[in-house]
């Protein structure tokens, strides 16, 4: 067996550094993007109130984050209430592999947007880089259908930020830190939407 690479002290230093980096990033977002997140939550809540749907998608860890969001909204987050219309486009492996095989991976989300999206619905895209072709194609398909396009991105936002009606960009080049921030933003978004629709 390989000898331990880190001493306990060096491991602890790494833990403290990474948690500190994540905390600093969240604090920066709280100062710079709180208004944008409120507008995003308002857009989602307004459309769900009208009976519209929220479609969510991402790749890899962001696919898991999309499913997490859908679980909170279809199930419940903090309040006992009616389920909300939210569909994670990363969930159906049969559809993803069929579309990927027949049309190419760049179309795995756009094809689902074409199937499920309607004018006035919302598409929320999650990406650490903002450059994924399948997310860009999904955004363009949503626009063609008169949907509201929202995004959580990272780094400099990439072309995804330009395709979205509203994008919150996490200013980091670290995918783990970006995904941690997206998870926090997603939880706050769920709480705001739930409170707006069902709070006293």
* CA Rg value for the chain: 18
pLDDT tens figures, 124-142:
999 999 999 999 999 999 9
CA angle at 169 for the pair 145 and 35, rounded to the nearest 5°: 85
pLDDT tens figures, 22-37:
999 999 999 999 999 9
Percent of the chain beyond pLDDT 70? 98
**How far apart are the C-alpha atoms of 2 and 169, rounded to whole Å?**
40
> What CATH number was assigned to the domain covering residues 9-198?
3.40.50.10490
Least confident of 4-8, 40-44, 70-74, 148-152: 4-8
pLDDT tens figures, 73-98:
999 999 999 999 999 999 999 999 99
CA angle at 100 for the pair 98 and 101, rounded to the nearest 5°: 65
Q: What is the pLDDT of residue 77?
A: 97
CB atoms within 10 A of CB 71: 15
Torsion of the alpha carbons at 161, 179, 106 and 37, rounded to the nearest 10: -40
Both tokens assigned to 54: 């929220």
- DSSP per-residue string spanning 57-111: EESTHHHHHHHHHHHHHHS-SSS------EEETTS-HHHHHHHHHHH-GGGTTHH
For residue 6, pLDDT over 80 is answered with: no
Average pLDDT, the chain: 97
For residue 4, pLDDT over 90 is answered with: no
């Amino acid at each position: 067996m390989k000898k331990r690479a880190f001493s306990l002290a060096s491991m602890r230093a790494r833990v403290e550094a990474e948690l500190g980096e994540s905390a600093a990033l969240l604090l920066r977002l709280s100062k710079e993007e709180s208004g944008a997140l409120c507008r995003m939550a308002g857009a989602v809540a307004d459309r769900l109130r009208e009976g519209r749907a929220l479609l969510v998608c991402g790749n890899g860890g962001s696919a898991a984050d999309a499913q997490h969001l859908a679980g909170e909204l279809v199930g419940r987050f903090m309040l006992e209430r009616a389920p909300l219309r939210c569909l994670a486009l990363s969930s159906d492996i049969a559809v993803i592999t069929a579309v990927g095989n027949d049309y190419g991976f760049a179309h795995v989300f756009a094809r689902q947007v074409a199937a499920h999206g309607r004018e006035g619905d919302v598409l929320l895209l999650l990406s650490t880089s903002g450059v994924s072709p399948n997310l860009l194609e999904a955004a363009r398909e949503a626009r063609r259908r008169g949907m509201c396009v929202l995004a959580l991105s990272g780094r400099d936002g990439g072309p995804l930020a330009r395709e979205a009606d509203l994008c919150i960009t996490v200013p980091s080049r670290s995918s783990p830190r970006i995904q941690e921030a997206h998870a926090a933003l997603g939880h706050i978004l769920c709480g705001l939407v739930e409170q707006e629709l069902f709070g006293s």
